[in-house]
Amino acid sequence: MMGPNCWWWGPGYFFGGPWGMMMGLIFWILIIYGIFYLISHLASPSSEIVRKEETSIEILKKRYARGEIDAEEFAKRKRDLEP
């Protein structure tokens, strides 16, 4: 007869039995790993967010490459910027 204390409806249904104990262990390991993963990724700055600041020489080179300034202007400004 199937009564209220059947093995599939008994206490500890979700984590009951040997397979249930392993599933319960895996479940809690995944939960704890997920928490640590979220904390570690929220605490560390993302490489996409952190940007390297361009130096004035790099900006000058880009302007010259785009054709915004000519060679004479580039040389003059480069001399002004170098220590």
**Per-position pLDDT tens, the chain of length 83:** 455 555 555 555 555 666 777 777 888 999 999 999 988 888 776 655 556 777 888 889 999 999 999 999 999 999 998 87
Predicted pLDDT of residue 8: 53
Q: What are phi and psi of 67, to 5 degrees?
A: 90, 15
Predicted pLDDT of residue 42: 81
Predicted pLDDT of residue 41: 80
Per the rule left: phi > 0, alpha: psi between -120 and 50, beta: everything else, 68 is alpha
In a domain, 12, yes or no: no
What ranges make up the beta strands (E) of 1-83? none
In a domain, 3, yes or no: no
In a domain, 58, yes or no: yes
Counting the structural domains of the chain, the total is 1
Q: pTM score > 0.85 for this model?
A: no
